[in-house]
Structure 1
Amino acid sequence: MKKIAFISDIHSNLEALESVLKDIEKENVDQTYCLGDLVGYGPNPNEIIELIRKKNIITVMGNYDDAVGYEKESCGCSYNPGRETEVGDESLSWTIKNTTKENKNFLKLLLKKLVIEIEDVKILLVHGSPLNYLLEYVKPETNSERLKIIAKSIDEDIVINGHTHLMMAKHLLGKTILNPGSVGRTKDGKPGATYLILEVDKDVFSYRFKFVEYNIKKTIEKIIKVGLPVELATVLALGKTLDMGKAKNKTNDIGSFKV
């Protein structure tokens, strides 16, 4: 049996990443992959990149990785007009200024998609979607027609993506779409970190979403100390953005399927 871990959307949150990697170690996985967005929002962009490199975690490019690496004016995120946009812009500007040239070069070299093969099953890794690698949000509430278009667009059996910060599992037209949620900035209303484990036993694939607690207080203190917007700390404390209201993601924690 093979066991693979998938992490995503770390967003410069060192405490979260360290806690998740410790949990992954206990799982004795064969390989860990990252779906992008190493940087942005949080206070430790360089430390995150250096830890990812040290652990040899294969990573695809996220929209924030692209924006910071190439020093863009916008991350392409779907912000609401007003203060949310201001916070996003401040976060991007701060991250660009505080990420080393060497680490920006690393971000620029990340692939926008990657296909891996396990037991003759092909898995596509992207940050957004197969139709827009960096920017499309494939959410639990994405309508079925759009999901069918995405499923029909790929030759691979499974798509694993990030970007939404919401755990997701969808099965349609013989394809499976999985999202591990977010290590560094959860949005499902539960403060902490999430990731995905895929277990392969012959032709049966089983998946588990895992929740990991970390020292959120320490990360929040860092955010305030370095001068990032206080709203970024609030998101971590709440485990969601302020515009989510009482929305909850109801993806099952475990599941299995044949391919």
Structure 2
Amino acid sequence: MTRLAFISDIHSNFEALQSVLNDIEKKQIDRIYCLGDLVGYGPNPNEVIGLIKEKNIITVMGNYDDAVGYEKESCGCSYNPGRETEVGDESLNWTIKVTTPENKEFLRNLPKRLSIEVEGVKILLVHGSPLNYLLEYVKPSTNAERLKFIAKDVEEDIIINGHTHLMMAKHIFGKTVLNPGSVGRTKDGIPGATYLILNIDNGVFWYEFLHVKYDIKKVVEEIVRVGLPIELGTVLALGGTFDMGPGKVVVKEEKKFLI
């Protein structure tokens, strides 16, 4: 049997990444993959990239990785007009300023998609969706018709994506679509970090969503110390915005799929 861990949307939150990797070390995981957005929002972009490099974690490019790596004016995020947009812009500009040239080169060289095969199960990794690698939000609320359109030409058995910061499992057209949520900036209403474990045994797979606590206060203090907007710390303390459907947060679910 092979056990894979998937992390996503770390967003310069070094404290959260360390806590998640420490938790993964206890789970007898064979490999770790990241669905992108190493940087943005948080106070430690270089430290996060350094740890990803040190652990040799294979990572696909997220929209923030693209924006910081290429020093773009926008991350392409769906912000509400007003203060939310201002905070996002401040975060992006600050991250571009402090991220080292070597780390920007690393971000630029990340692949936008990755297809792997493990024990007969084919898996597609993207940050957004198979149709828009960086920017499409595939949420728990995404309607069935859109999910069908996204999945219909995908050859792989499983699609794993990030970008929304929301844990998700959907099954459509014989495909499974999974999202590990976010390490560094959860939006499910529960402060902390989330990730995904995928177990594969000779063509059969099942999965688990896990929640990890970390020292949020320490990260908020660092956000203030480096001069980032305090709203970024508030999001961490509150677990972002609740967008998992009518009153439920899925923390563990299983599905078996026979090849």
Cα distance change of structure 1 residues 254 and 50 upon mapping to structure 2, 3 Å threshold: same
Deviation at 1:201, TM superposition (A): 1.4
**Aligned counterpart, 1:20:** 20
Deviation at 1:251, TM superposition (A): 3.2
How far apart in 1 are the matches of 2:192 and 2:114?
Answer: 27
CA contact (8 A) 2:17 2:184 kept: yes
CA contact (8 A) 1:69 1:108 kept: yes
2:14 partner amino acid: L
CA deviations on 1:210-239 (whole Å, 9 max, x unpaired) are 000000000000000100001100000000
Alignment gaps of 5+ in structure 1: none
Deviation at 1:249, TM superposition (A): 5.0
TM-score normalized by the length of structure 1: 0.97
Deviation at 1:131, TM superposition (A): 0.3
Cα distance change of structure 1 residues 247 and 238 upon mapping to structure 2, 3 Å threshold: farther
Instruction: Write the mapping of 1:30-45 to structure 2, written as runs, cut at 5 A.
Output: 30-45=30-45
Mean Cα deviation higher: 205-214 or 149-158: 149-158
Cα distance change of structure 1 residues 248 and 236 upon mapping to structure 2, 3 Å threshold: farther
1:132 partner amino acid: N
Q: Does 1:255 align with 2:254?
A: yes
Q: Does 1:56 align with 2:56?
A: yes
SS in 2 for 1:256: coil
Instruction: Write the mapping of 1:87-126 to structure 2, written as runs, cut at 5 A.
Output: 87-126=87-126
1:226 partner amino acid: V
**Aligned counterpart, 1:76:** 76
CA deviations on 1:16-62 (whole Å, 9 max, x unpaired) are 00000000000010000000000000000000000000000000000
1:251 partner amino acid: V
* CA RMSD, 1 decimal: 1.5
How far apart in 2 are the matches of 1:27 and 1:226?
Answer: 34
CA deviations on 1:183-208 (whole Å, 9 max, x unpaired) are 00000000000000000112220100
Deviation at 1:147, TM superposition (A): 0.3
State the aligned residue count.
258
TM-score normalized by the length of structure 2: 0.97
Cα distance change of structure 1 residues 245 and 36 upon mapping to structure 2, 3 Å threshold: closer
2:199 partner amino acid: E
Deviation at 1:252, TM superposition (A): 5.4
CA deviations on 1:92-112 (whole Å, 9 max, x unpaired) are 000000100000000000000
SS in 2 for 1:254: coil
1:58 partner amino acid: I
Cα distance change of structure 1 residues 249 and 139 upon mapping to structure 2, 3 Å threshold: farther
Alignment gaps of 5+ in structure 2: none
SS in 1 for 2:254: strand
SS in 2 for 1:177: strand
- Identity of paired residues, percent? 72
How far apart in 2 are the matches of 1:232 and 1:248?
Answer: 24
How far apart in 1 are the matches of 2:244 and 2:31?
Answer: 36
How far apart in 2 are the matches of 1:192 and 1:256?
Answer: 25
CA contact (8 A) 1:140 1:249 kept: no
Instruction: Write the mapping of 1:126-137 to structure 2, written as runs, cut at 5 A.
Output: 126-137=126-137
